[in-house]
Every structure is written in structure tokens, then in C-alpha cells.
């Protein structure tokens, strides 16, 4: 039986611009066939175990020819595979998706088209250039700057394109830019017509060169700007002066190393993208079961024996409900037991499972949890602390010193992730973030000379405990969040200190 092929437009680079339908296709595919322009963050959305085949094509460098790519997806579809053919931008805008779709149709392989946001519109938008504007133009044209060489002669009507009031957007034009400009000038386009070249549009590496038809070739030579780029010609380019926004973001162009566990990286990565930064995902720790699950299972079995249960992380919540699931039970197991969460993220993880917490401290550290619990409990009351195997003892110790009966249960363990490339990734970064003491320990585990490697890099910590752990390892800390969440950490990086 044949499989199915989804021809998916990945959009221009920002992973937030992938469509929901495209993400659903990635989540179910057996094989991912992807291009040079497909963002790594989008490629990472393919389901675990999916076979990934890179067929990148950029100017002068083709991993596979177009005929070989088409033959590959037809063969995979015929073999019963669910295949996503991931293409930069939109499938049908100068991406040869029409040829691939026709080959699939002729081969009898079921397929589906998932349109993407074309760079022809998105790259100018991220540069602050609207492709239409009532004060400047009444039409826009999207043109290839790289026609099929087999045609022998250009089929572009430069007489019509040489109109500053009808915006023209050239894709794949950098290699032929001089010839295109010469043709526009020859057909009467004024030398003072504005031109913008948007390199790596929608990405933190975005560069925008603004010139005129008369100066653009010289400016390109001077600046060294290269493909991939979108060229916009027309008076709409002037709007960039007023509505430039993306490259005005507070972290625009910064590379930020994210050291938290892989399964928890998405939220901080998206916040960084929205602030204009490029996240470099480099988890230094992974979350797994504790050395012995007996106590964790037993605590879930007799949870109603406690007056309070304290969760100090989302990982503890996940682990507790994993144990309940093994017992065939759910949130009803808590009965009227009161629940404390160290912070809003942990509380949100509980809320997703139908549990409304009774206590969140004003500051999201164990010391604050202990202080708040002492005001709500009496000596002799039983408290379960469900936490990491390696956690600090300040919370249970403080409670015990004040007469509370505390059981500490290892819900999960953090283990170092070995990454021989971590030092090189850190050197590429402008900012390195640590979201827990464990991420610091994992970094030092991989990078013996961590203090030296980070000596010229901005180091940001999610809170004072994490910052002190870094300092104890000899690492200078430049930024400490006031609110001990990933949102607070990114805010600390983007809002200058008073």
C-alpha cells in the first residue's frame, strides 16, 4: 500500500511562522526530507525516531539534484512511508513544489499540500517594509531572479517591472543582481528608486541594506551582503524608516546558549526568538527516574497520609503523576491534601492535571516555601516533599527544625548530558543562560575550563541560588533575574537595570 507525502512550506525561517497544519504533519511523519532553508528549530519538531534526510539546495551546492529529490519522495511514498517534504517558504512560490506534486500524482502516491508563508512577503515585513501601501503602490509582483537556464532567454517583462509605484520583489536574485538592475535602468526605472535587500529575513541573523537603483550594486560590493536574500524595489521601501521593528528588538542578533533539559527548552527558545535572539540549544542535564523508585511509588500510594505535599519543580509533578498512572489512579488520589508549589510553572503543571494549589511563595526558592509553610502548619503535621534526588536540604531541614514531620522522596534524578561540542557552542554564544544549579554543574562537567571559556560572554542566572553555584565554580555572573522563571530571566536580559 502506498504511503502519503505532505509537501510542507516551512516558512522563511522564524519557527513561529510554521503553520499548525505543518506542525501536525511533522509530528506524524516516518521520514523528513528537508531543504537548506528549513529552520533547525522546525526540523526538530519531527517526531522522535523519524528518519531525517537532508537534500539541501543553495546557490552552487546541491546535495541532490531536483530530479533525485523528486524520485526519492516518490519511492518513499510508494514504500508505504509517511513523508514530509519540508521546503523553505511556500511550496508553490519558486520552490518547484508543483513539479514534485505532479510526479507524486502521476505515480499514484497520495499527497497533500501545506502552504507556507513565503519569504517574498515575510522578509520585507520583518524589515519593516509593507509590500502594499496606499501611499506608494497599487500592486506588487513577485519575480524569480534565477530563471530556468534551459529557456535560453528571459521571459521577464522589464518594461512593466520598471515601475516604482508597483513594488517588485525578486527572489534568488543576488547572483544576477547586476544584470537585473541594468535591465530595470534600461527600461526607464529612475536611479533614485529605493531598493532594499533583506538577508536571512525573519531570522536573528537578518541584515537589511537600503540603497537606490543607482547605488545598490556598489553598496552590495561594499557591505558584502549575500544570498539568501529578498530584493524589494519600489517606494514602499521608504516605510522602513517609520515601521522598522524586528531588528529593533532588545536581543536582536544575539546568540543565546540554553542549557536547560531538552524537553523544557521550547518555552525559553520561543521567548528568545520573540526578543530577536538566536537560541542555541545545548542541554547540560537530562531528567530521569531516581536510583530507586520504591519510595516514590510508596508516597503516591499513601499520599492521603500527609497534610501537605510540596512540589519543587514541574519535573516532580510529572514524576508523581507517572507513579499515579502506574497505580491506575489520577488526581482524585489527593483527596483533601493541601498542595504547595515552588512557583507558577509548577503550579501550572498541577493545574493541567486538575489540581489547584494552596500555596505559592512570594519568591520562588525553597527558603520561601519553608517560611510560608511554617505559617500554615503546626508542629507534628506530616509533610511530603517530592523533589529531585540531588536537591538542597534547606526546605526539609527548616521544617524539621520547627517540629514538622517531613518525608523527603526522590521523585526524579538529574544526570549530566555529555556534549563534546559544548565549549565550541559556548564560544559562539553572546549570552549563556543557567536555569538551575544542575545546569551549571552539567556545564562544568563538560567544560573543564568553564570560567575561561565564559570570560568574554555574558552569563545570566535564573536566580541567586543558581548564580551562587556559578560563582562557586569560578564563573562570573552578569545578570540575575528578579523573578525566578524563564520569563523573568529573559526579561532581565532585555530590560536595562535601573
Catalytic residue set: 35, 57, 172
Q: In angstroms, how far is CA 476 from the centroid of its own chain?
A: 27
> Which residues neighbour 337 within 8 Å (Cβ) at sequence distance 6 or greater?
303, 304, 306, 307, 308, 309
* Sheet-wide strand order for 308-311: 285-288, 405-416, 382-388, 308-311, 338-341
Q: Assign 84 to helix, strand or coil.
A: strand
Please tell me the distance from the alpha carbon of residue 436 to that of residue 466, in angstroms, as a whole number.
Answer: 5
Contact 64, 56 (CB under 8 A): no
| C-alpha cell at position 4 | 502519503
Name the residue among 347, 353, 345, 368 with its Cα closest to residue 260.
345
Please tell me the distance from the alpha carbon of residue 261 to that of residue 330, in angstroms, as a whole number.
Answer: 26
Beta bridge partners of residue 413, listed in sequence order:
288
Q: How many CB atoms lie within 10 A of CB 40?
A: 11
Q: How many CB atoms lie within 10 A of CB 65?
A: 11
Sign for the pseudo-dihedral over CA of 285, 291, 295, 300: positive
Beta bridge partners of residue 255, listed in sequence order:
278
Contact 303, 368 (CB under 8 A): no
According to DSSP, the β-strands at 111-114 and 139-144 are unpaired
Contact 5, 91 (CB under 8 A): no
Could you give phi then psi for residue 397, rounded to 5 degrees? -65, -45
Contact 394, 419 (CB under 8 A): no
Please tell me the distance from the alpha carbon of residue 49 to that of residue 414, in angstroms, as a whole number.
Answer: 23
Stated as kind and residue range, the H or E segment containing 67 is helix 66-78
Name the residue among 335, 360, 330, 358 with its Cα closest to residue 345.
360
Stated as kind and residue range, the H or E segment containing 94 is none
Q: In angstroms, how far is CA 278 from the centroid of its own chain?
A: 8
Contact 404, 398 (CB under 8 A): no
Exposed / middle / buried, residue 46 (Cβ in 10 Å: 0-12, 13-18, 19+)? buried
According to DSSP, the β-strands at 308-311 and 338-341 are parallel
Amino acid at each position: 500500500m502506498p504511503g502519503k507525502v505532505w509537501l510542507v512550506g516551512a516558512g522563511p525561517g522564524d519557527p513561529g511562522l510554521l503553520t499548525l497544519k505543518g506542525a501536525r504533519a511533522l509530528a506524524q511523519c516516518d521520514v523528513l526530507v528537508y531543504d537548506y532553508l528549513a529552520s533547525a528549530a522546525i526540523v526538530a519538531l519531527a517526531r522522535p525516531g523519524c528518519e531525517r534526510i537532508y537534500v539541501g539546495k543553495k546557490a552552487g551546492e546541491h546535495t541532490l539534484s531536483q530530479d533525485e529529490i523528486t524520485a526519492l519522495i516518490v519511492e518513499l511514498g510508494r514504500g508505504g512511508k509517511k513523508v514530509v517534504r519540508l521546503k523553505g517558504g511556500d511550496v508553490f512560490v519558486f520552490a518547484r513544489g508543483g513539479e514534485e506534486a505532479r510526479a507524486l500524482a502521476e505515480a499514484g502516491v497520495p499527497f497533500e499540500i501545506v502552504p507556507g508563508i513565503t519569504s517574498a512577503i515575510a522578509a520585507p515585513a520583518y524589515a519593516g517594509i509593507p509590500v502594499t501601501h496606499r501611499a506608494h503602490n497599487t500592486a506588487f509582483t513577485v519575480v524569480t531572479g534565477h530563471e530556468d537556464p534551459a529557456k535560453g532567454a528571459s521571459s521577464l517583462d522589464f518594461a512593466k517591472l520598471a515601475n516604482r509605484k508597483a513594488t517588485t520583489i525578486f527572489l534568488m536574485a543576488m547572483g544576477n543582481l547586476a544584470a537585473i538592475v541594468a535591465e530595470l535602468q534600461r527600461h526607464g526605472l529612475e536611479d533614485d528608486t529605493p531598493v532594499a535587500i533583506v538577508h536571512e529575513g525573519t531570522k536573528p541573523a537578518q541584515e537589511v541594506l537600503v540603497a537606490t537603483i543607482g547605488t545598490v550594486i556598489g553598496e552590495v560590493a561594499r557591505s558584502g551582503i549575500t544570498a539568501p536574500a529578498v530584493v524589494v524595489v519600489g517606494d514602499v521601501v521608504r516605510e522602513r524608516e517609520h515601521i522598522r521593528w524586528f531588528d529593533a528588538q532588545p536581543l536582536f542578533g544575539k546568540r543565546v546558549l540554553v542549557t536547560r533539559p531538552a524537553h523544557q527548552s521550547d518555552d525559553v527558545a520561543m521567548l528568545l526568538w520573540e526578543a530577536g535572539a538566536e537560541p542555541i540549544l545545548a542541554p547540560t542535564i537530562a531528567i530521569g527516574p531516581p536510583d530507586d523508585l520504591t519510595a516514590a511509588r510508596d508516597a503516591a500510594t499513601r499520599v492521603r497520609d500527609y497534610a501537605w505535599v510540596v512540589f519543587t519543580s514541574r519535573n516532580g509533578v510529572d514524576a508523581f503523576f507517572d507513579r499515579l498512572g502506574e497505580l491506575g489512579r489520577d488526581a482524585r488520589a489527593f483527596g483533601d491534601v493541601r498542595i504547595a508549589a515552588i512557583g507558577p510553572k509548577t503550579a501550572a503543571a498541577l493545574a493541567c492535571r486538575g489540581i489547584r494549589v494552596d500555596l505559592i511563595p512570594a519568591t520562588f526558592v525553597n527558603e520561601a516555601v519553608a517560611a510560608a509553610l511554617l505559617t500554615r502548619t503546626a508542629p507534628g503535621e506530616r509533610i511530603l516533599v517530592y523533589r529531585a534526588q540531588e536537591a538542597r536540604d534547606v526546605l526539609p531541614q527548616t521544617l524539621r527544625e520547627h517540629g514538622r514531620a517531613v518525608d523527603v522522596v526522590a521523585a526524579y534524578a538529574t544526570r549530566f548530558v555529555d556534549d563534546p561540542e559544548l565549549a565550541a557552542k559556548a564560544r559562539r554564544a553572546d549570552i549563556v543562560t543557567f536555569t538551575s544549579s544542575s545546569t551549571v554543574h552539567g556545564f562544568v562537567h563538560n567544560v573543564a575550563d568553564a570560567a575561561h571559556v565564559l570570560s568574554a560572554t555574558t552569563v545570566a542566572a535564573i536566580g541567586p541560588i543558581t548564580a551562587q553555584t556559578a560563582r562557586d565554580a569560578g564563573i562570573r555572573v552578569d545578570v540575575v533575574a528578579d523573578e525566578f522563571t524563564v520569563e523573568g530571566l529573559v526579561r532581565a536580559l532585555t530590560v536595562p537595570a535601573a
